[in-house]
Structure 1
Amino acid sequence: MKSITRIHGLDTLRAVAIMLVFMNHYVLFVSRQAPFGFWGEVGWTGVDLFFALSGYLIGNQIFAAMRSEAGFSLRTFYIRRFLRTLPAFYAVLALYACWPWFRAGLTLPPLWQFLTFTQNFDLMPGTAFSHAWSLCVEEQFYVLLPAVALLIGALRRSLVWAWVAVCASFLAGMAIRGYLWQTQVGDSEGGFHYYNAIYYSSLCRFDELVAGVALALLKNHHGAAWNRLTSRGNWALGAGVAVAGAALYLFSEDHYGYGMTVFGYPLLALGCTLLLIAALSRGSLLERTRIPGFGKVALWSYAIYLTHKQIFLLLKPELAEHGISAASWTGIAIMTAVSIPLGWLLYAAIETPFLVLRDRYFSYKRPEPNFPPPGSDPKAENAAQLA
């Protein structure tokens, strides 16, 4: 697979995202006494950061291709998407389906729900491979976004309609979450109904994906505004940390309340978008800082995401049998030392060959040298390989 120029800021965000999810799943499925504190409780927001990254990278691919001389090919887009995401997913799904020991006693939902990426509809918490719900949301989004982009592109004043669609999406998400909270969640104790009706729902969890697409739209069609934004990367970083931090704090205080259900996700989307701007701004602290190991963790993050939760469930009784507390740093170190290499193995054995196949036979045609809009960073296109 050809080498690419990496954007260290995006690597940092992707690595942070998988670490947040890792800590949250550890607290939920291994030990509430794990010493992650606040970050373990709010680590579920790592999924939302993944959503924002995916929305931007995929949106950038689509908008750039639509503006190129070669044009946008739905066939090429879908083939590249599926070669990126499906092989590793199906490999892990096969372990759940064909190896009962791997399920650790959990019930596996019907296979057709995984194969059609509808598993997140009416998902029951605590089932096997339940964390694949986020992949279902992303795959549904990948299937619909190109069609919507092409439809809007066929209309007159397409940019106006594109921004109308972005704003309407946020308003629709808020309205749907508010309605579902009032009719299905209310003031019921615990989060079971909340997760089933809202948290896993595709109709409720697209805010960050749309925010990422909006950022890609800005980059490809509003060069002057993009220049201004990316010339203030450190300001964007400070604002992103402040906004995302406020969202995390408010969610930690009232995750299942009506106010956070309706307005919390757009606030979190804004924070993620500001962090993306900082990561894509040349010379910003986030863009120029290379944290050792984060590049590899970012590269393997998808594989780690698919496998780490089940590794937790399988290793937990083994640690107990050997007198090692899962809540201790020793237990955490063992879980991490197993999870990361197995994630790398899945990446190397399954993801990499299909990425090579994708780039060899289904590459996008390179645009003309003057194609990127003013102020855009040519490195950003290369980062789409991780999308």
Structure 2
Amino acid sequence: MNTITVANPKPFDPLDETASLDAAATTRALGPDVLRALAILLVMLVHLPAEATPLPLAGIRPYGWIGVDIFFVLSGYLIGTQLMAEAARSNAVDFKAFYLRRAFRILPAFLLVLAFYTFIPSLRDAPTMQSAWRFLTFTANFGLDPRFGATFTEAWSLSVEEHFYLVLPVLVVLLKRRATVVFIAFLVATIVMAGMGLRFALWQNQVSPAAEMHAYRAALAVYLRDVYYPTYNRLDGLTFGVVLAAIRLFKPLLWERYMPPYLALGIGGMFVTAALVVFSVRGPFAETNLPLVFQPLPGAVVGFPLFSAGVAFILGALLDLQPRIGRWHLPAISGIATLSYSLYLTHKGVYHLDQMVFGKDNLQGLSGFVIYLATCFIVAATLWFLVERNFLILRDHLMPRSNRTS
């Protein structure tokens, strides 16, 4: 893998989580870990009921869904770096090795959690659940109506990731010799503009009729099903992450000259702020009490690319600042980042278990929040140590480090 230079002389592998949590804290790049930790904490917060949310976090909670978009940018950058570096180095992409690596990384923990939900219905965090084959084929995000399949809905983003894994290696191979700066810029602009246009059309044709009839809960379900969940509407974060990877790999001097870290932080901050302002504009839906994940037309169309571009600038700045911030000892950040996948898979189910064990009335206020956090991290750490880590060690044994990049 094209490694990221850090202060620590040990090579940095941003997707390698086979070491202990303490070791991970000393070998991982802090910048991506800060974003990864922020992303999972936001996602965990948005799925926490309002009554169990401490007052200082109440204003942040409605925006927690943007954590998924941070994950998309990170994934686009990390996987894009891996594949493009391999193609540049060997003039090819080892598809078999790539998909095996991804399978060892993604499937074991995912399949175990899915098995619990499938075979032990009492563990389900909602009364309804999609058929298991939708999860197994990673098509859960198409036609996903939470009114008829609300259990394990967080798997929608894993479906998006899997589709990304299928397409990007092929795209890298096809473009490795023919790509020019102008062509890539045109391709990126086309993807972003097509996403904006498609979300606009779907909102107008699918969501608007329900909203105009004041059937707001139906409008929310249609928005999630047709606009928010489908892969073709959620390419912004992945695209900007890949663009960042391409610039830093193939035009590093250009990035260094025109985008010093503090300028990139400033631009990224402005983009993120602009996106949050757009997301906050509720218009005629201000009094409907719909969750902020439901976006009126402006947010649904331009909010996603604005936010994703901002996160990409911030990620680029943090990578450049790594020689400085890498000296900071923040094991909690790296620990949260290491557990982020297990936390993502289990946090909704854990809160459901908390309700069963402690009772809903005992999960309110600060005490409920502490119980939620503690149980989430206990379950995630258990899943990581028993499943994730062991399968990554097995992957390393079967696929030596010299033959793998993540």
Which consecutive aligned stretches of 4+ in structure 1 deviate over 6 angstroms post-superposition? Answer: none
After superposition, the Cα gap between the structure-2 partners of 1:97 and 1:106, relative to the gap in structure 1 and judged at 3 Å, is same
Name 2:101's counterpart in structure 1: 80
Q: Within the alignment, does 1:131 sit opposite 2:122 as a pair?
A: no
Alpha-carbon spacing, 1:315–1:9, altered in 2? closer, same or farther (3 Å): same
- What are the residue-to-residue correspondences of 1:92-171 with 2, within 5 Å? 92-104=113-125, 106-125=127-146, 127-154=150-177, 156-171=178-193
Unaligned runs of 5+ in 2: 1-17, 283-293
Correspondence 1:236-251 to 2 at 5 A: 236-251=264-279
Do the aligned partners of 1:124 and 1:196 also contact (CA within 8 Å) in 2?
A: yes
Q: Percent identity?
A: 36
Contact 2:31 2:322 in 1 (8 A): no
Q: CA deviation at 1:243?
A: 2.2
Q: Give the CA deviation at 1:71.
A: 3.6
Helix, strand or coil at the partner of 1:236: helix
Say yes or no: does 1:264 pair with 2:303: yes
| CA positional deviation for 1:158 | 4.6
1:65–1:72 Cα contact (<8 Å) kept: yes
Per-residue Cα deviation, 1:41-100 (whole angstroms, up to 9, x for no partner): 000000000000000000000000001137421111111111111111001001001112
User: What does residue 307 of structure 1 align with?
Assistant: 346
- 1:253-332 equivalent positions in 2, closer than 5 A: 253-254=281-282, 255-282=294-321, 289-320=328-359, 323-324=361-362, 326-332=363-369
Q: Which amino acid aligns with 2:51?
A: S
TM-score of the superposition, structure 1-length normalised? 0.87
User: CA distance change for structure 1 residues 121 and 22 in 2, over 3 Å: closer, same or farther?
Assistant: same
Quote the offset at 1:252 in angstroms. 2.6
Q: Distance in 2 between matches of 1:217 and 1:225?
A: 12
1:89 pairs with one of 85, 90, 110: 110
User: Using the alignment, how far apart are the partners of 1:90 and 1:223 within structure 2?
Assistant: 39
* 1:233 pairs with 2:257: no
Q: How does the TM-score come out when normalised to structure 2?
A: 0.83
Q: What is the aligned length?
A: 363
Q: How far off is 1:280 after superposition? A: 0.5
Consecutive unaligned residues of structure 1, counting only runs of 5 or more, are 368-383
After superposing the two structures, state which structure 1 stretch, 33-42 or 297-306, moved more: 33-42
Out of 212, 215, 221, the position equivalent to 2:250 is: 221
Q: What is the SS of the residue equivalent to 1:109?
A: coil
Task: Please give the alpha-carbon distance, in whole angstroms, between the structure 1 residues aligned to 2:179 and 2:116.
Answer: 49
1:333-386 Cα deviation digits (max 9, x unpaired): 01111001110111111111111122232346479xxxxxxxxxxxxxxxx74x
